[in-house]
Amino acid sequence: MNVLTEVAVEKKLNPMTKESNIKMRGKDVTVHYGEKQALFAVNLDIPERQVTALIGPSGCGKSTFLRCLNRMNDTIDSARVGGNITLDGEDIYDPKIDVVELRARVGMVFQKPNPFPKSIYENVAYGPRIHGLTRNKAELDEVVESSLKKAALWSEVKDRLQESGTGLSGGQQQRLCIARAIAVSPEVILMDEPCSALDPIATAKVEELIDELRANYTIIIVTHSMQQAARVSQRTAMFHLGYLVEEGATDKMFTNPDDKRTQDYITGRFG
Amino acid sequence: MGEHTVASFDEELEHIDRLLRDMDELAAAMVAAAIRALLASDNAMAQRVVSDDTIMDARQRELDDSAITLIAKRQPMAQDLRAVVGAIRMAGDLERIGDLAKNIAKRVSAVGQSATPRNLSHGIDAMADLVLEQLRGVVEHYVSRNADALKELRAADERIDVKYTAVFRELLTYMMEDPRNITACTHLLFCAKNLERIGDHVTNIAENSYYVVTGKQLPADRPKLDETTMSAPAT
């Protein structure tokens, strides 16, 4: 094989790996709930427009870390957050930061679908309205429609927008919550076990949705399903007892992880 | 490596490892018997090798079924996933080794009919010893998860290739000396080629095993001696 062919083969085998900007960055993040320390000096970069999965056994700190990213822990009195978290290089715990605006930029979808007891339309329109994102009814209609379309729910609900959001099936409710999160044009979407209350078909729809949303949003998902983490994410971070054990490309994490604790956890060997 | 929370998961993985060991032992026994039959013109023994191949095929199907069922039931991850996929591939190589041994056994009667001097097959005997050493070692190293030994074993295939080149030249010389040797020598040449191919399958198994054990692929190119690459017959 001459040098030219070798270069050509090398190029074919290793197409340029796409570089990604860091959207959010956690540096030495610690969390205490009262006396109890829940998170120990976690350093984790969240790449832009990729799905990052946080995995680990119950109580490992993955949800705690997720909740730090849009300051949801502020709502718990005993919680104290240390270290530094940035969004586009900006410290989100800076006193000058408007938390309401932060949570519009960093949206959240919860474990159990929690639509407001209002119409489907109002569920999605609520955010843009209170944030003053639209000037008139026509614009609001447009935001509601595009958000429902992006959440892959539009075709199922377009004829009954005035019906109550709580009347939808579990999977539809969860996609409604995703539409609600998208409606305020967030940059980052946090998902805390978004499929744990859904059946396999609804789960598949949400996973498909996550894959589509990745083109425009940075997504961080906490999941107990190894297969789900392997399917939907590009990066995976493994937590254990409050420590970040290992972080890396999902493909590697699920075929050949470096840390024994990751290995034990993903192969079902945790004692 | 610790045990799974679900104990039957461990049992299923062990079952696959056991099948792999059985197939390896059977493959080695078939190759050894085929070569003994060839050297001693023992048609009965050759016949047993041919029928053993049916057992080999059945074992491979059983392993495939077990592996597919395990994947469907357990969705294995990391080293478990590598072990299951690796086992499927290794079983494929072992099955092929069985076929090649059978092919040697089928030539026993053809070689035996001619008045072949015993010394014609001396080189093949030595080559078979090398192949059997490799074949018996590879699954043993895999089961004991010995990555270094697997790497060395893979490199040792070189010795078989060198031996093959020597046997090739030797048989060619006999054919030139006396054309009446041609039939027997051609069959012996195929037997030598089969042994060389068995060595390659063992190399594949070693590479697969190494990946299962370490999660890393061995470099694609194995170091080769210049002399053999220049003068080796087409492989």
B234 in any annotated domain: no
Q: Which A residues, 203 through 242, put their C-beta within 8 Å of a C-beta on chain B?
A: 226-227, 230
Is A234 in contact with A249 (CB distance < 8 Å)? yes
Chain A contact set for B84 (CB, 8 A): none
B41 in any annotated domain: yes
Q: Which B residues, 74 through 103, put their C-beta within 8 Å of a C-beta on chain A?
A: 74-82
B1 in any annotated domain: no
* pLDDT computed for residue B50 by the predictor: 96
A10 in any annotated domain: no
Show the domain range for B92: 7-229
Show the domain range for A237: 20-266
Chain B contact set for A226 (CB, 8 A): 75, 77
* pLDDT computed for residue A6 by the predictor: 67
B56 in any annotated domain: yes
Q: Which amino acid is at A65?
A: F
Question: In angstroms, rounded to a whole number, what is the distance separating the alpha carbons of residues B158 and B152?
Answer: 11
Question: In angstroms, rounded to a whole number, what is the distance separating the alpha carbons of residues B31 and B36?
Answer: 9
B235 in any annotated domain: no
Question: In angstroms, rounded to a whole number, what is the distance separating the alpha carbons of residues A257 and A254?
Answer: 6
* pLDDT computed for residue A17 by the predictor: 46
At B117-167, the pLDDT tens digits run 556 677 899 999 999 999 999 999 998 999 999 999 999 999 999 999 999
CATH of the domain at B116: 1.20.58.220
CA-to-CA dists, residue A167 to A154, A171, A265, angstroms? 15, 11, 38
DSSP string, chain A: --HHHHHHHHHHHSPPPPP--EEEEEEEEEEEETTEEEEEEEEEEEETTSEEEEE-STTSSHHHHHHHTTTGGGGSTTEEEEEEEEETTEETT-TTS-HHHHHHHEEEE-SS----SSBHHHHHHHHHHHTT--SSHHHHHHHHHHHHHHTT-HHHHTT-TTSBGGGS-HHHHHHHHHHHHHHT--SEEEEESTTTTS-HHHHHHHHHHHHHHTTT-EEEEE-S-HHHHHHH-SEEEEEETTEEEEEEEHHHHHHS-SSHHHHHHHTT---
Burial letters A144-159, b for 16+ CB under 10 A, else e = bbebbebbbbbebbee
A191 in any annotated domain: yes
Is A267 within 8 Å of B6 when comparing Cβ atoms? no
Residue of A nearest to B82 (CA): A255
CATH of the domain at A250: 3.40.50.300
Q: Chain B contact for A158, CB < 8 A? A: no
Specify the number of domains making up chain A.
1
* pLDDT computed for residue B6 by the predictor: 86
Report the candidate in A91, A106, A82, A132 with the shortest Cα–Cα distance to residue A218.
A106
Chain B contact set for A230 (CB, 8 A): 77
Q: Chain B contact for A269, CB < 8 A? A: yes
Is A267 within 8 Å of B215 when comparing Cβ atoms? no
A116 in any annotated domain: yes
Q: What secondary structure, in 3-state letters, does A129-166 show?
A: HHCCCCCCHHHHHHHHHHHHHHCCCHHHHCCCCCCEHH
A257 in any annotated domain: yes
Is the pLDDT assigned to residue B110 strictly greater than 90?
Answer: no
A139 in any annotated domain: yes
Q: For residue B232, name the pLDDT band (cuts at 50, 70, 90).
A: very low
Residues B88-115 have a mean pLDDT of 91
B2 in any annotated domain: no
* pLDDT computed for residue A67 by the predictor: 94
B153 in any annotated domain: yes
Is the pLDDT assigned to residue B230 strictly greater than 80?
Answer: no
* pLDDT computed for residue A150 by the predictor: 87
Low-confidence ranges of chain A (pLDDT < 50): 16-17
B174 in any annotated domain: yes
* pLDDT computed for residue B224 by the predictor: 59
Lowest mean pLDDT among A81-90, B77-86, B216-225: B216-225
Chain A contact set for B74 (CB, 8 A): 268
Identify the residue among B4, B10, B77 best suited for mutation to test binding to A, counting A beta carbons within 10 A and taking the highest: B77
Question: In angstroms, rounded to a whole number, what is the distance separating the alpha carbons of residues B56 and B99?
Answer: 9
Question: In angstroms, rounded to a whole number, what is the distance separating the alpha carbons of residues A252 and B17?
Answer: 24
Compute the mean pLDDT over every residue in chain B, rounded to the nearest whole number. Answer: 89
**Assigned token pair, A26:** 């956690």
Is B91 in contact with B26 (CB distance < 8 Å)? no
Is A239 in contact with A55 (CB distance < 8 Å)? yes
Q: How many CB atoms lie within 10 A of CB A161?
A: 19
At B48-75, the pLDDT tens digits run 999 999 999 999 999 999 999 999 999 9
* pLDDT computed for residue B5 by the predictor: 86
* pLDDT computed for residue A194 by the predictor: 92
Specify the number of domains making up chain B.
1
